[in-house]
Amino acid sequence: MTSTLTVRPLTASTLSEHLDICRTAFYGEPDDPAREAQLRMWDPARFRGAFDGAELIGGGGIWPRRMTLPGTGAHSFAGVTMVAVAPGQRRRGALTGVMRSLLHDLHAEGGDPFAALWASEGGIYGRYGYGVAVERLEIEIDKGARFLPTVDTGTDRVREVSREVAEPLMRELHAKVAAQTPGWLERDTDAWHYRLLDGTQQRNGRQAFRFAVHPEGYALFRMHQRQVLAVEVHELVTTGPVGYAALWRHLLDADLAGLADYWCAAPDDPLPHLLADPRAVRRGRCDALWLRLVDVDRALPLRRYAGPLETVLELTDEFCPWNAGRRRLRIGADGHAEVTRTEDEPELALSTTELASAFLGGVRLTALAAAGRVRELRPGALAPLSRAFLTDPAPHTIENF
């Protein structure tokens, strides 16, 4: 960072200034209703700004949230959000200074042991030790696609209702699925309000939110006039196969529409398994949640693993050097993990970025080894550790924060 830049916590007035920078950086609308919610929800002290003298040029902050981890339910984590640097002030090290301050302060204060974010571009966050932990599937399917004759859509009707009627049902269904699915976030009243904001900015040329509900799930969607009228699904949350099939049937049979798409399906989304022709669903895969182990010793024991297993890891971590060094990882038959420092011979060498990618069970360490990012120092050590991190259900996430 050039010597003229300093990084410090924001105040109420500099948070407001930072939101102006974000609006410019994300090409937002001046009347975005999100701004008022952000100022109400977020603690300026959890934000860091980069200043050139007295001038704020960029920043980013933490929205404290809770995420479900494999086998242990919801845990608080640092949800990194609103990262932006003013156009014309970029590539001076402002983001690096802000990232350093956020992560180093979390460590110094014994705060959340892991952080997560959604990246606007894929090339930004790897240098700060974030790894892709959950991917998403973008799916698109033409109207009327046929299901297999064995698919049961049940007898309950899917109803389209007002937000007032839908919201309590959505909250209940979302909470059930979130508790069972690694990577999902709990939503409090503020988070629900934020998610359901529906101004010009959120609509982005599309129609208002619509709400389809069923006893086993809901779909939050908008209609969008493209070359054909499209049903754009924003959330599809279901607790059972009948609700899942019934809601998709409803969306695929929408009169006047030509297709339906969903931006954030799980990588193993069951839709192709329902279809008479599984190729009818077009799929694209993309990174969703990036994760950073702030304190590897406190983070790894938070979840359960497929044990028993014992190994020694040689860890590197340039951006958060307190994580570097050798660790013995002991996983009991009950899945509990214990992490201790050791001088014993390591069996695997990797950085905490690879561990962050594997942490929710969404990326295999064997795949990272095939990319040369995990080195097996004792033959046979890799596969059992890779298996120990896997989870069922696979992690998924539906909320871009």
Ligand X SMILES: CC(C)(COP(=O)(O)OP(=O)(O)OC[C@H]1O[C@@H](n2cnc3c(N)ncnc32)[C@H](O)[C@@H]1OP(=O)(O)O)[C@@H](O)C(=O)NCCC(=O)NCCS
Q: 7 vs 350, which CB is nearer to ligand X?
A: 7
> Does position 28 bind ligand X by CB under 6 A?
no
| Count of C-beta atoms within a 10 Å radius of residue 372 | 7
Separation CA 202–CA 208 (nearest Å): 9
Active site residue 401: yes
Q: Judged by CB under 6 A, which stretch of 120-128, 295-303, 328-336, 369-377 contacts ligand X?
A: 120-128
At its nearest, how many Å lie between ligand X and the CB of residue 22? Answer: 8
Cα 319-322-328 angle, rounded to 5 deg: 120
Take residue 398 and report the two structure tokens written for it. Answer: 């539906």
Q: Does 93 bind ligand X (CB under 6 A)?
A: yes
Q: Is beta strand 309-316 parallel, antiparallel or unpaired with respect to 325-331?
A: antiparallel
d(CA 166, CA 211): 6
Residue type, 85: V
CB of 20 or CB of 142, closer to ligand X: 20
Return d(Cα 334, Cα 332) in angstroms, integer: 5
Specify the stretch interacting with ligand X by CB under 6 A; choose among 61-69, 119-127, 158-166, 170-178: 119-127
Structure tokens given for 175: 């909470």
Residue 95 near ligand X by CB under 6 A: yes
Which residues, including other chains, have CB under 8 Å from residue 235's CB and lie 6 or more apart? 218, 219, 220, 264, 398
Binding ligand X (rule: CB under 6 A), the pick from 83, 252, 254, 329 is 83
Active site residue 125: yes
Cis bond upstream, residue 393 (ω within 30): yes
Single out the residue of 8, 23, 75, 90 in contact with ligand X (rule: CB under 6 A): 90
Stretches 11-19, 40-48, 64-72, 121-129: which one binds ligand X (CB under 6 A)?
Answer: 121-129
**Contacts with ligand X in 165-204 (CB under 6 A)?**
none
121 binds ligand X (CB under 6 A): yes
Query: Is residue 5 part of the contact set for ligand X (CB under 6 A)?
Result: no
CB 195 within 8 A of CB 224: no
Q: Which residue, 13 or 400, is less far from ligand X as judged by CB?
A: 400
Catalytically active residues, by annotation: 125, 401
Positions in the binding site for ligand X (CB under 6 A): 25, 58, 83-85, 90-96, 119-121, 123-124, 127
